[in-house]
Amino acid sequence: MSVLVGTLLSDGSLIKQKARGTSGNKVIYPKFSFSQSLSHFSYFWLVFWSLRHYCGSLPSLGIRLSVKGTKLFALNFGTRALPCFVDPYNKFYVDNIKVVPKIFLKF
């Protein structure tokens, strides 16, 4: 969880998504999403390797445009939507907007 919290304080995000519950019905759980440019591969790989047991697939390579219009290559991965992400979601999101939890503002 420390890797998850650390990345949520920076580039990571949680997104609510429908998932299959234990009884087979559809429920809404958050999933974690993370992206980094190729120049930060070591950091990206550390985060992925720490959270890989929550993932259903390997990372992917994507292309996005910079503000200046140049192509940037980025690595992306996302976890499955799981109930263990509900508590971090509730701490980091208010009305679906990411915020810094009050516990971190005391430092």
pLDDT in tens, 15-42: 998 877 667 778 899 999 999 999 999 9
The pTM for the full model equals 0.85
Question: From CA 14, how far away is CA 2, in angstroms rounded?
Answer: 15
More confident residue, 32 or 102: 32
Determine whether 64 is exposed, middle or buried from the number of CB atoms within 10 Å of its CB (0-12, 13-18, 19+).
exposed
CB 85 within 8 A of CB 27: no
The position carrying tokens 């980025």 is 74
Dump pLDDT digits (tens) for 66-92.
888 899 899 999 999 999 999 999 999
Domain borders along the chain are: 2-105
Determine whether 5 is exposed, middle or buried from the number of CB atoms within 10 Å of its CB (0-12, 13-18, 19+).
middle
Q: Which CATH class is domain 2-105?
A: alpha beta
Distance of CA 56 to the CA centre of its chain: 13
For strands 93-94 and 71-78, give the pairing: unpaired
Question: From CA 102, how far away is CA 56, in angstroms rounded?
Answer: 32
